[in-house]
Structure 1
Amino acid sequence: MDRLGRSLQHLVGFLEEIHHLGVDLYLHQQGIDTTTPAGRAMFQMLGVFSEFERAMIRDRVNAGLARAKATGKALGRPKTGEETEAAIQQSLAEGMGILKAAKKHGVGTSVVQRIKAGLPLAE
């Protein structure tokens, strides 16, 4: 049910759209039949609860991130060392491809792509 829409507005719009196409929705596990007024009401109530739950999760995640920042914890991926970056730049300057450079230096291809994008263009 909570996978059908991101918000109550989206769920109601989805329900109107499928009804306009002449399709009725029956959710077997929840026992909800949108052809009846009670079924439509229950569908919308479940949408409200799904939206509420999603908002609560978002608030808890943001509170946890704020608490981590307040205690001085470093967030995100670890930074690539300067020596590794210099070695990757050297490999790229020698004509090595992104995949080979990533494998050689033990980093992901996105790291090599980021470093390559920061290099001056050869003329």
Structure 2
Amino acid sequence: MKALHAGDALVVWKLDRLDRDPRHLVNLVDDLTKPEIGLKVLAGEGVVDRHDDSKWPASVRAALAEFERALIVEREKAGLEAARARGRNGGRPFKMTSAKLRLARAAMGRPETKATDLCTELGITRQTLHHFVGPKGELRADGEKLLARRMAKASGPPFAL
């Protein structure tokens, strides 16, 4: 900023190269307009050019919005990676648990069991039931995956001494 004079232009590849905090960036852009210093951003939806006064406010707002969105996405990805590194995976928890699966297998093995009543009691849908257990109580592919996942979690990593 000290080296820039009225009529000069500050050229940056992307706004994130200029600053990482959108609030500070807005202040910096405002500081550039007072002494009539130009700003050119080369990457993005087009070139933002401060010397074109008619397009300056809209183009800078668009560039700032794009910059802020990119930062949000970058931070979100970093947060998800950190959570995965801690062993956490996102998403809704499964309705079918291994305990419910064992009950469903035992109940579906009996001919007097009604699938609708069983689903109501377990708090699952018929579709979920039939994804995991067959009509005679046999495990289906999703049921095998659930049990395998539970066994892998139960065994856990070996302890270090």
TM-score in terms of structure 1 length? 0.47
TM-score in terms of structure 2 length? 0.38
Structure with the bigger RCO (C-alpha within 8 Å, sep 6+) is 1
